[in-house]
Amino acid sequence: MHRRIFAGIGAASLLTVGVLGGVAVWLPSGLEQGKLSSDGRTLFLAVVSAVLRGMTPVQQGSQGKLADRIDQLLAALPPATQIELAQLVGILSTSPGRRVIAGLDKDWGKASADEVKAALEGMASSTLQARVQAFHALRDIVAAAHFADPSSWPAIGYAGPLEI
């Protein structure tokens, strides 16, 4: 009897892995040739509006430039990291992935900054490490791209690097 249960669990596990692996082939890619796909761009622009809100003024029209800086940052990442990020953004670009990982019902482009911020806060405080890591990846990429731009420094009182 115990062998049958063990064999059944093993068969169910193999079937689950096979189905998930097959589904992964059809997921949209978050990156295309090292740059954000259109879905990835929509995702990151929504995250920008939530992460930087209240932290520093974001100039109207500067979000496109910020998305370009995110592309530059992503291009500098190691290939393995780019693959992982492409998978994360691809999953978050799907309705089930967005709902499970971010807890967001609306599409990224249709959600308000408050809704995206609440979704990100839910990810950050989750007991599931994968959700927390996804939050940190999204937040850190947005913050790094924004604060790497010298035009953002005066708003936070940073005069720039010291001359040595």
CA distance 26 to 160: 45
pLDDT computed for residue 11 by the predictor: 57
Examine the pLDDT at 42 and tell me if it is beyond 60: yes
**Given pLDDT bands bounded at 50, 70 and 90, which one contains residue 18?**
very low
Across 53-66, average pLDDT: 66
Examine the pLDDT at 128 and tell me if it is beyond 90: yes
53 or 136: which leads in pLDDT: 136
* Of 99, 103, 97, 93, nearest in space to 124 by CA: 103
Decide: 102 and 119 in contact? Cβ < 8 Å: yes
Q: What is the DSSP string of 25-58?
A: HHSPPSEETTEE-HHHHHHHHHHHHHHSTTTS--
